[in-house]
Amino acid sequence: MTVNHGGRLQPDYFRSYLLLIMSSQDCSINCASDFMLKTFFHGNPKKFGLESYKSFQIAVQSFNKES
């Protein structure tokens, strides 16, 4: 997937991505979050900018609020 480094990725983007990972890997939000940090962010939360990382955190927290 190509990601524009100049744009701020929104929480809905990350929520959809996390749902896809959870479905395909049959895992929890914690597992999907760890997987995304390793593969999408390549271990660097600032890779796509601080605002995008904050959006990622908001998306993860939205799953925790549903539980």
The pLDDT, as a whole number, for residue 67 is 65
The pLDDT, as a whole number, for residue 50 is 92
pTM: predicted TM-score of the whole model, two decimal places: 0.87
The pLDDT, as a whole number, for residue 8 is 83
Task: Give the residues of the chain that fall short of pLDDT 70.
Answer: 1-6, 67
* C-alpha to C-alpha distance for 10 and 3, rounded to whole angstroms: 12
Helix 29-39 with 11-25: angle, nearest 10 deg: 110
Burial 22-46 (b: 16+ CB within 10 A, else e): beeeeeebeebbebbbeebeeeeee
The most distant pair of C-alpha atoms in the chain lies apart, rounded to whole Å, by 33
The pLDDT, as a whole number, for residue 5 is 54
